[in-house]
Chains A and B, each alone.
Chain A
């Protein structure tokens, strides 16, 4: 099946800093999603982005399908951005394969 790798595994930022999270995947995809898992364990959909670029407020994402990677940009980070960010992908109709996540801590 598809392999999904995320980097970096851990990231500590000061409030107001910008960051880039990377997701590499091993095959062409029908679906690629970014999630934020907050400290209470809830999975929040950030982006559905099998290709192209999307923006939502301070967050944006770019997927270059031909080169099999996706990037999540967080600008002007806030303490509420803390948590774990997951990238997940699948091919065909099968369910998502998750990466191991990037744990982000934003310090005031």
Chain B
């Protein structure tokens, strides 16, 4: 049981390049999330998917798109990278739809992707 996995671990892009960050979870969770963490700060929500087939914007969605490919996978795409998107990106999942569970809302995080845009 790997939990939440992310690829790649590190990436360097030039301004204007595009890339997709991949996330997968093997816990059969319904909800998945993308966060970014800038130096010295807490995490901020970019996009989330409450369940397969749905996605919603979070606090800082500009410059990003997401795809909930299936229940396991949730990808984050940067269409035209900018230096302001230099950050560490974390994916998370939770079993939010089964609200009768005592731990329905607990989120589990992947190891992160460190992205630098020059």
Interface string of A77-108 (1 = CB under 8 A from B): 00000000010101001111111110000000
Total CB contacts across the A-B interface at under 8 A: 58
- Given A95-B45, A98-B44, A99-B42, check contact A33 B107 (CB 8 Å): yes
The interface size bin for chain B is 20 to 34
A43 at the interface (CB under 8 A from B): yes
Number of A residues contacting the other chain (C-beta, 8 Å)?
A: 24
**A45 B42 Cβ-Cβ under 8 A:** no
A42: CB under 8 A from chain B? yes
B contacts, CB < 8 Å to A: 31, 33, 35, 41-45, 48, 50, 58-59, 88, 90, 92, 96, 103, 105-109, 111-112, 114
- How distant is the Cα of A4 from the Cα of B44 in the complex, in angstroms? 12
Q: Which residue of B lies closest to A49 (CB)?
A: B106
- Pairs A–B under 8 Å by Cβ, sample size 5: A4-B42, A93-B31, A95-B58, A95-B92, A100-B42
Distance to closest chain A CB from B19 (angstroms): 19
Contact A41 B106 (CB under 8 A): no
Most B C-beta atoms less than 10 A away, residue of A33, A96, A100, A101:
A96
